Amino acid sequence: MVVIRLSRGGSKKRPFYHVTVADRREPRDGRFIDRLGFFNPIARGQEERLRIDVEAVEGWVAKGAQVSPRVLKLIKEFQAGAEATAA
């Protein structure tokens, strides 16, 4: 099964996550199929905290990919921020 989940990067005490599409059997930080965005939980100032290609996520979900609970929460947060910026 294909899942959309977070893959950890960054250094010790400075996490950085990529939103990736991967086979469920692969390790968390292992091989992936596609990269859809990123999440920087410790962004400060003008740094971008979250970016997700929502159209690509919808395309993968249409093909049968499962979205992890944390990524689903981040997508909703990103869409709320995009609506606030557009309004």
Rounded Cα distance, 14 and 12, in Å:
5
Domain ranges of the chain: 2-86
Q: What is the pLDDT of residue 87?
A: 65
Rounded Cα distance, 59 and 68, in Å:
16
Q: Convert the pLDDT of each residue in 35-52 to its tens digit.
A: 999 999 999 999 999 999
> Which pair of tokens denotes residue 61?
């979900």
Q: What is the pLDDT of residue 82?
A: 78
Which ranges of the chain have pLDDT less than 70? 86-87
Q: What is the pLDDT of residue 84?
A: 79
Listed residue (50, 58, 56, 57) closest to 74, CA to CA: 50
CB 7 within 8 A of CB 27: no
Instruction: Give the homologous superfamily in CATH for domain 2-86.
Output: Ribosomal protein S16 (3.30.1320.10)
* pTM for the structure as a whole: 0.90
